[in-house]
A and B are shown apart, each in its own frame.
Chain A
Amino acid sequence: MREKMLNIGNKKWFSAVFWILLLLIIWEISAIVVANTKRIPENILPHLYQIIMAAFSGEKVSGELSASQAVLTSAGQTLLRGFLGFILGGVIGFVFALLMKMSNLLGKMLFPYLMLIQLIPVLGLAPIILSITGDINVSRVVIAAILSFYPVATNTLYGFKSVEKEKYDLMYIYAAKKHEIYQKVLIPAAMPYFFIGLKIAAPMAVTASILVDTLQGDGGLGCLLSQSLKHAMSIYTFWLIVFFSAFIGIIISKIIGLIETAVSPWKRRP
């Protein structure tokens, strides 16, 4: 029996479950406290069962949609835009890092500006991007791409730079051509860093996508979020979105982890 208990304790998922349970307990205790001290507790901290009930209740909150239907339809739009932006940002980020590695001059010239792009508040860029693209949805994708581009580019570049000098020397001895060096040494070496970048970028793309939904109130999780926050509809919609977006964030980083192991065999050590 004791053995079995220990075994369960050793499982990888056990600790995560433990922490989640602990969090849930703390949440519920606080919810009870809030319920007893506040007039409208669901605005501050509802019980978890209330949120779950709201997820499965068929009550219409917006048009003909129930709360979870509304969340899921909006999420579809937001995630699609976020996904497109993320792919675009990831590809551009990688290409940029490669270019900056290939040309020292370019690398040195542009590196500080990479960070700057990250720092320009999206809101300031939005009207300009809108006037360039002329379409609000394209603008949203572009902004999500800009925000996910930076972590990918910097991390990949860091990966390129992390290659030890010995490896270059070795390739030099082999009289390897430039593209061979890139293909055989640099790119594989940068892969783990590229994926770190992607892992950071993925939740950022989702966040960005939710944020840019609110540029114009025509759908998407961000709009639904602000609508429900303004008490225009059931406040539980808000809580559903909070949980849903957290869930999406976790799932996405898991998926990228899976892709990472799939494309980098050397990671598959037991």
Chain B
Amino acid sequence: MSAKVETAERVADLSGEKYKYGFVTDIEMERAAKGLNEDAVRFISSRKQEPEWMLEWRLSAFQRWRQMTEPKWARVHYPPIDYQDAYYYAAPKSQDAKPKNLDEVDPKLLETYRKLGIPLSEQKLLAGVAVDAVFDSVSVATTFKAKLNEAGVIFCPISEAIRDYPDLVRKYLGTVVPVTDNFFATMNSAVFSDGTFVYVPKGVRCPMELSTYFRINASETGQFERTLIIADENSYVSYLEGCTAPKRDEHQLHAAVVELIALEGAEIKYSTVQNWYPGDEQGRGGIYNFVTKRGDCRGKRSKISWTQVETGSAITWKYPSCILRGDESVGEFYSIAITNNFQQADTGTKMLHLGRNTRSRIVSKGISAGKAQNTYRGLVSVHARAENARNHTQCDSLLIGADCGAHTVPYIESRNPTAKIEHEATTSKISDDQLFYALARGIPEEEAVALIVNGFCRDVLQQLPMEFAVEAQKLVGISLEGSVG
């Protein structure tokens, strides 16, 4: 056995199982009947005790979806998905009783989150981070609600917001990602289950980090979360989501919609650490992640910043975007996408400059290893009235090994001669010199690769909230295990 292989195995041993979130929680579930049809839509709506207008909204989306076809333009390949051969709603039976507080929540659920490193008891939580825990199709607990209420911040499951704050939800839901937007967003509009609702009132700086932890548990079941965040005038909020799923040989669908609305002078910082099960070394299993995320800088001087660390999923199809409607508004997109083994990612952003003096910044770091394919796809569009729009895009790709691919597909459209748009792109490999240097200083090969890749991603990792940056750095290393030697 070569020294290299030995090193790789030693590191793998030390870190234990590569995907440590792959366990299944054995819990009794209630499901909708298999298939995506009107009955399933009605079932979900009634389970969530929704008002009539919400059901109508869902049904109109479903009617629309039936006439739509799946988009095929992304650089991802997968066998046809039978949308009728999956469950669209699954919830632990123990949640039927609608627990009022953590003491009433099924201990099995609390244990699941504890194993995931997300203790839900407020004493044990990271100070300053509130969590909404979503398990398959329902939210099982939301922490620090009372404390946030004191500041006037609404932080609750969206199913609860539909019942308790219908005026706010009706005013904003579907205004950034319309029901008719695209195949997956329309499907989500019909069958969305749970997700998070946030409203930060005028002039309020949200006193803590908000986060949602999404967990898929049930087999043959898709997760269709819906998140809506509204930052009213001159407010600020930072939100983070994390996601994991059990190891399974089947593929599971995750089709989320996230809408952000920033009114005048408001700022939303939205961070994602996406660690859905990526499939095994042979490409078996893994989540199909088809996600529509869009933010609307509706007011003057508003700002929306997306940061994503995408390490999981068999397929990622995701373009968190900013509509820069308000004058002087700012959009940012910071992305790390890591693909290993047979993973495929087609991800990027859209920056739509509508207002005057709008600015956007894109920093994308794509890392590809094994037999993976990693594509950056981005649009920068400057409309006719967007005087003095500015964009700077930096797209860097790193290849590890000879069998992977990196692709950069930037689209740039400008209808205003005052626009300044810059695009820089690089593709590189980890050099033998770098690797040898680290090895010769005593750093084992896998750790050396993780260190060099973390350096490559530094500009993006620095954008993450402190509490999560360290975790994300570790994740970068784990995701690339087995990629060298």
Answer whether A and B are interacting partners: no
